Amino acid sequence: MSAIRGLAVRAATRTLAACGDHVAQLYVPREDPWPVYGRIRRHGPVYRSVMGYAAVTSYELCSRVLRGQGFGMRDSAGRLPSEQQLPLGLAPSLLELDPPDHSRLRRLVAPAFRPKLINEYRPRIEEATARLLDRIDGGPFDLIGEFATPLPITVISELLGIPENRRGEFARYGTLTGQALDGQLTARQWAEWEAALAAMTQLFTELMNERRREPGGDVISVLVNAVDGEQVTVGEVIATCLLLLIAGFETTVNLIGNGVYQLARRPEQWRTLRENPELAAGTVEEILRYDPPVPVTGRVAQDDVELGGRVLRKDTQVLTILAAANRDPEVYAEPDRFDITRTGGPEHFAFSSGVHYCLGAQLARIEGEIALRALAERLPRLRRTGEPRRRSSASIRGFSYLPVAA
C-alpha cells in the first residue's frame, strides 16, 4: 500500500466511523475499544459493516472461523483480507498462506520452536532480564523503551542468529510495520518504513550467504538448507524471517506493557503477584485474555458458508474480534474482571487458533512469565508516574511509552 493510498484509507475510515459504522470505529485510535466490541456483539452473531466485513465476536464463531471450517487466508482471486496484508513487499509469509504452501513452510520452521528447545532459552531470558533491570537505578524509566522492547529483541535475535550490532534497528522496523498494517503511517513514516524494509531485506540476504558458508543452529541456517534443497525460495525465506522478527517481539513487548499497565491500575493485583511470584505464568494468561496484543484478525469465506444463522457469500472478508471473544460471557465467568488468579474456561485467542496458531506462543509465554516475575521480585514498588502513549495501530494494541518508577 502506498503512502497516498494509506492516507486515503485512513480518511475514509474516519468518515465511516463518524457515520456510525462500528468496524470503522475500531480503526480510529481509542483508549478503550471494548464498548465498540459490545455494540458489535449486540447486533447479533454477525455484524455486517459497510467496509465489506462480516464481524464476529463470540468465542464459538471465532473458533469456527479460525479453525478453517470454510474459511482461509485468500479469496478466489488470491487476495488477502485487509487484516493480513503484511507489507513485507516480498513473497508471502506464513501468516499469508493457506495449506499446502503454509504447511510446507511451517514444517520447515516449526523445529526451531519445539517445546524442549524453547525451554532451553529460559536461562538466557533470565540473564537478559537481569541485565536490563541492573541498568535501572530505581528512578523513573520508560518500561517500553528500556525493558519491554530490548528483552524480546535479544531473544528473537538469538533465535535468528542476528549480530548484536544490528539489533537496534529491529524495534523501529517492527513498530513501523505494525502501524503500516492498517495505514496508520504519515508520508514521512512510509518513507522511513520503506528504508527500514530495504535494510532488513539486505541484512537477511547477507546472513543467508554467511550461513551457507558457515551453518549454525539458528533458524536462518535451517531455511538456507531448505533453499538449497529447493523446498523454499529465497523470497520466502526473507519474508519468513521478517514475519518471525515482527511476531517474535511485537507480542512480547505489548504483553509486558499491557500487563504492567493493567497491574498498575489494580494495586491489589500487583500486591498479589508480588507476594506470590509463582502466579506469574497465570498472570500472563490473564493479560493475554483481558488485553491481548493482537485484538483482531481476518479470514475469507472460501465458498458460500453459513455463519451465525447468516449465509456469507464466497470471498466475504470475516473479521474475528479476538479481544471480544476473550471476554465472551458465554464462556468466561465475569469476563470483564481482571483477575490473575483466574482458573477455568477455555484457552483464549491471543495466539489465534487452527493452523495459524502462533508458532512462538510458548516463547512469548516464557518471556512474559520471566519478565513479570522479575519485576515483582526486584521492583516491588513499581508504579506509573505519568500518562502513557498508546500505539496508533488498531491491529496491534500496546504502548509506545509507559513511564514508571521503581
Instruction: Name the maximum alpha-carbon separation found in the chain.
Output: 60
Most confident by average pLDDT, 21-25, 97-101, 282-286: 282-286
**Residues in Cβ contact with 245 at an 8 Å cutoff, skipping those fewer than 6 apart:** 156, 160, 170, 173, 174, 200
Is cis: bond before 33, omega within 30 of 0? no
Rounded to 10 degrees, the C-alpha dihedral 7/13/14/16 comes to: 150
**pLDDT value at residue 6:** 58
Q: Please state the rounded mean pLDDT for residues 223-248.
A: 83
Give residue 189's pLDDT.
75
122-136, 183-197, 215-229, 285-299: segment of lowest average pLDDT: 183-197
For the chain, percent helix, then strand, then coil, each to nearest 5? 55, 10, 35
Confidence (pLDDT) at 117: 86
Residues 173 and 200: beta-carbon distance below 8 Å = yes
pLDDT of 3 higher than 70: no
Considering the entire predicted model, what is its pTM?
A: 0.91
402 — phi, psi (to 5°)? Answer: -140, 95
Q: Spell out the domain ranges in the chain.
A: 3-405
Cα-Cα-Cα-Cα torsion 124, 128, 129, 130, nearest 10 degrees, comes to 100
Distance between CA atoms of 74 and 233, rounded to whole angstroms? Answer: 20
What is the per-residue DSSP string for 161-202? Answer: T--GGGTHHHHHHHHHHHHHTTT---HHHHHHHHHHHHHHHH
Q: Locate cell 500518562: which residue?
A: 387
Q: Which tens digit of pLDDT belongs to each residue from 46-101?
A: 999 998 899 999 999 999 999 987 999 988 888 776 555 555 556 677 888 899 98
Confidence label for 114 from pLDDT (cuts 50, 70 and 90) = confident
C-alpha cell of 127? 540473564
pLDDT at residue 82, rounded to an integer: 59
pLDDT band at 401, cuts 50/70/90? Answer: very high
Which residues in 239-364 belong to E strands, given as ranges? Answer: 296-301, 305-307, 310-312, 317-321
Cell of 235: 523470497
CATH number of this structure's domain 3-405, picked from the four choices 3.40.50.2020, 1.10.630.10, 1.10.260.40, 3.40.50.10140: 1.10.630.10
pLDDT digits (tens, 9 = 90+) for 372-385: 999 999 999 999 99
* Buried/exposed 138-174: b ≥16 CB within 10 Å, e otherwise: eeebbbbbbbbbbbbbbbbbbbbbbeeeeeeebbebb
Average pLDDT on 303-317 reads 95
